[in-house]
Chains A and B, each alone.
Chain A
Amino acid sequence: MRYKSRILVSATLVAAVLAVVGIYTLGKPDFGSEAASDTFKRQDGIFECRFPKGWENRPAVYSDTPQAVFVAPPPSEASDTAAVPSMWVYFYAEGNPAFKDSETYILMHTLSTEDHRISEVTEVRLNERLVKSFWVERPLIGSPENTREVIVKEDYVVFDTDKGFFVLGLTWPLQEKAFAAQEKRIRSQFDAFLKSFRFSV
Chain B
Amino acid sequence: MVSSRDIKSASGRLKKFYDGSAASREGKPGDASAVALKRASSGAPKASRDSAGTLKRALSRVRKPPEIASVVFATPEQERFSKSWNKEMKKKIGGNPVGREVLSYVGGDLPPVALIDDHEKKRLASHHAYQNKISLNTSWMLKEIRHHDPGAPVEKSPEAVARYLNDNPKIREKITDAYQGVMVHELTHNAQMHAFKKDVIKNLHVIEAEQHAFTLQAKYSLAEMERNSRYLRSDSPISRFERKNMRKALGDYDQHMRDIPTRKSYSKLVSAEEKREKLTQSREEKTPERDREIAALKKNEEFYGRFFEQEKGEWPKKRVSGLVLLAEREAQTNPHTAVSELILAKSDPSFDDAPEPLRRQFDKTADSALSAELNSHRTQTAGKLRSGELLDFERRRLVGAYSNLERPIPAELYQSQERQGLRARTRVR
Contact = CB atoms under 8 A, between A and B. Distances in A.
Contacts, number: 202
B123 A113 contact: no
Interface string B121-149: 01111000000000001011000000000
Nearest to A1: B390
Contact of A82 (B139, B254, B263): B263
Contacts of A71: 261-262, 267
Nearest to B18: A59
A100 interface: yes
Nearest to A107: B347
Majority secondary structure of chain B interface residues (helix, strand, loop or mixed): helix
Given A141-B248, A148-B122, A60 B211 contact: yes
A62 B20 CA distance: 7
Which one of A82, A88, A114, A142 has the greatest number of beta carbons of chain B within 10 Å? A142
B2 A94 contact: yes
Nearest to B308: A62
A65 B254 contact: yes
Interface residues of B, number: 78
B7 interface: yes
A120 to B, nearest CB: 13
Interface in B237-263: 238, 241-242, 244-245, 247-248, 251-254, 256-263
How big is the A interface, by class? 35 or more
Nearest to B397: A112
B316 A147 contact: no
Contacts of B17: 61
A44 B10 contact: yes
Interface in A156-171: 162-164, 171
Contacts of B270: 56, 58
B3 interface: yes
B263 A141 contact: yes
A60 B13 CA distance: 18
11 contacts: A58-B269, A58-B270, A63-B257, A67-B254, A74-B264, A98-B252, A107-B344, A108-B251, A113-B247, A143-B245, A201-B7
Given A58-B207, A60-B260, A98-B316, 7 more contacts: A66-B11, A86-B262, A97-B313, A141-B245, A144-B241, A145-B123, A162-B1
Interface of A: 2-3, 42-44, 46, 56, 58-67, 69, 71-74, 79, 81-86, 88, 90-98, 100, 104-105, 107-109, 111-115, 139-148, 150, 152, 162-164, 171, 173, 201
